Amino acid sequence: MAFHSVEALCTAAGAVPLWEAVLLDDCQDRGVARDASFSRMAALWEAMKQSVRDYDPDKRSACGLTGGTGAQVEQAAVGLMSPFVTAVMSTALKVGECNACMGRIVAAPTAGASGVLPAVLLPMQKARGFSDEEAVRALFVAAGFGQVIATRASIAGAEGGCQAEIGSASAMGAAALVSLMGGTPEQMSFACASALQNLMGLVCDPVAGLVELPCVRRNVIGSLNALAAAELALAGVRNVIPCDEVIDAMRAVGDSLPSSLRETGGGGLAATPTGRHIAEMLSGHTQN
């Protein structure tokens, strides 16, 4: 019970589709009926959609650093990216900003990385007309891969750096996209592995210790990386290092990150002169 390797996950997906293998395992694991498992995931999907609908471009975070960029990117319509890709980017920003501004989001896998899954799935649903049921199935796929990452490595920035949050979200999103597009379990594992290896080593360095900077924007890169990894896998490009080995490597990299790069707000962007200045200003604010 509970998948400990992508290999086991893909094997379980022999008789039934991968999303269903994850669902059946959940039913067994928690002793619940099929409907209960599915509707709980469906509620998460509904809440993801709601978080995008609820986005308020005028809202700012408690410290005033964050807000408005999701709408800004959408409205500017720069034209460098296709409208679809721009929609992915702005959705990632919207959910990230919603989270920073104390809006309601789904922490999947974490609050900091909550923009990635909605960003890869929602514009996709709109562009290609996938049903809600198909999207929920894709979330089961994301959950299955996420479970392996969480058990073999970590999904917490404080433990494994941002590779464990945005990296994991991206890998989960990549696998989910492949499943949505009708790819095979093997292609899902290639997509997961390649998304994860692209973000390997990403450090967790939030300015002033707040889930805002760089967190909100990293949701954009996590989403675009998921799209790229899924496109590669669906094109038939194989990943050389097996997914489980990539996950293990991610863990080893996380373990060797100094604590200053694991959510302590002591390294990376947080330690830049501007980052420190912001932190000082905010702590002065707190004492008032």
Instruction: Tell me the C-alpha distance between 196 and 166, whole Å.
Output: 9
172 or 221: CB nearest another protein: 172
> Which does residue 139 touch among another protein, ligand SF4, none (CB within 5 to 8 A, set by kind)?
another protein
Binding residue (CB under 8 A) for another protein from 26, 74, 205, 244:
26
Residue 196 vs residues 217, 224, 225, 263: alpha-carbon distances, Å: 17, 13, 9, 19
For the beta carbon of residue 5, count every other beta carbon within 10 angstroms.
Answer: 16
CA geometry: angle 114, 87, 237, nearest 5 deg: 80
> Which does residue 113 touch among ligand SF4, another protein, none (CB within 5 to 8 A, set by kind)?
ligand SF4
In the complex, least distance from residue 138 CB atom to another protein, rounded to whole angstroms:
12
Nearest of 62, 42, 45 to residue 53 by alpha carbon: 45
**Burial degree of 131 (CB within 10 A; 0-12, 13-18, 19+):** exposed
> Which does residue 256 touch among ligand SF4, another protein, none (CB within 5 to 8 A, set by kind)?
none
In the complex, least distance from residue 261 CB atom to ligand SF4, rounded to whole angstroms:
9
> Which does residue 165 touch among another protein, ligand SF4, none (CB within 5 to 8 A, set by kind)?
ligand SF4
The verdict on 104 binding another protein (CB under 8 A) reads yes
120 or 135: CB nearest ligand SF4: 120
In the complex, least distance from residue 172 CB atom to another protein, rounded to whole angstroms:
8
Binding residue (CB under 8 A) for another protein from 146, 173, 214, 267:
146
Residue 138 vs residues 70, 121, 173: alpha-carbon distances, Å: 24, 8, 9
Binding residue (CB under 8 A) for another protein from 29, 35, 133, 280:
29
Q: Is 280 left (phi over 0), alpha (psi -120 to 50) or beta?
A: alpha
Residue 30 vs residues 25, 33, 63, 99: alpha-carbon distances, Å: 9, 9, 40, 29
In the complex, least distance from residue 101 CB atom to another protein, rounded to whole angstroms:
7
> Which does residue 229 touch among ligand SF4, another protein, none (CB within 5 to 8 A, set by kind)?
none
Instruction: Tell me the C-alpha distance between 116 and 199, whole Å.
Output: 14
Nearest of 251, 28, 46, 224 to residue 139 by alpha carbon: 46
Place of tokens 């509970």: 2
Contacting range for another protein; rule: CB under 8 A; set: 111-119, 184-192, 221-229, 237-245: 111-119
Which residues form the interface with ligand SF4 (CB under 6 A)? 112-113, 157, 162, 165-166, 204-206, 211, 214-215, 218, 263
Positions in the binding site for another protein (CB under 8 A) = 2, 22, 25-26, 29-30, 40-41, 43-44, 47, 61-63, 98-112, 114, 139-140, 142-144, 146-147, 150-151, 155-156, 158, 208-212, 265, 282-283, 285-286
